[in-house]
Amino acid sequence: MSSMVIDWYLRATPLAPPSIFNFLIFASAFSIVSVLYLELAPRLAPRASRPSASLALEATNTVFYFAGFIALAVYISRLRFCEGTVCAVARATSVVAAFEFSSWIASTILLAKDIFKGGLRGGSPSAGSGSGSAAPADFDVVPQGLRPGANRASRQWPLRSSQPPLQPARQQEMRQV
């Protein structure tokens, strides 16, 4: 839609088109490149895909569309005369840019939430590692074949923490509490 306004300025007036329309065309082209990276890099080149780079790319798109729709709204509000098809298209361009900003900010927030839950090195909760159903790291995991009365000398405790298993006397104290 921005290109229609630019075309009208180039054909019907001796004035140069406002730079905000050029900026919105740039933001659209940047979004296309961003979506290609965000969708294809994790599938085709997983090593080239970094969560922090994806977050930065989405945040950059958010800033571009925020700046674009605000600047266009301010430009349209300062026009003394705005009627006809070109003005309607300019207003519609501002609304579409605001919608694109809303979409990018929602996507950025969801990605940031996913990254900060799983860490910047990957291992996001949605990547198949489970959504909180695993036991916390502080608990000891007892294999199924071991019973409390089994031979303690031959027992191998696969500890997840650095603490040694509780001694039998300490276990009795814990049960009484």
Q: Are residues 47 and 104 in the same domain?
A: yes
- In this prediction, residue 22 carries a pLDDT of 86
Give mean pLDDT, residues 133-157: 47
pLDDT digits (tens, 9 = 90+) for 2-34: 777 777 777 777 887 888 888 989 999 999 999
| Pairwise CA distance, residues 87 & 93, whole Å | 10
Query: Widest CA span of the chain, in angstroms?
Result: 94
For residues 101 and 139, membership in a common domain is answered with: no
159 shares a domain with 112: no
Q: Containing domain of residue 163, as a range?
A: 135-177
142 Cβ contact list (under 8 Å, min separation 6): 157
How many domains are there within the chain?
A: 2
Are 169 and 83 found together in one domain?
no
Token pair, residue 133, equals 């159903």
Position 130 pLDDT exceeds 50: no
30 and 83 housed in the same domain: yes
Question: What's the DSSP call for residue 151?
Answer: -
45-49, 90-94, 138-142: the lowest-pLDDT one: 138-142
133 phi and psi angles, rounded to 5 deg: -85, -10
User: Which residue is listed with tokens 């409390």?
Assistant: 148
Residues 96 and 15 in one domain: yes
CA gyration radius, the chain: 29
19 and 63 assigned to the same domain: yes
35/93 same-domain check: yes
118 and 144 inside one domain = no
- Tens digits of residue pLDDT in 73-114: 998 888 877 777 778 888 888 888 899 999 999 999 999 998
Of the three residues 127, 146, 161, the one that is the final residue of a domain is 127
Q: Go through 22-55 and write b for each residue having 16 or more CB atoms within 10 A of its CB, e for each that does not.
A: ebbeebbeebeebeeebeebeeeeeeebebeebb
Any idea how long the chain is?
Answer: 177
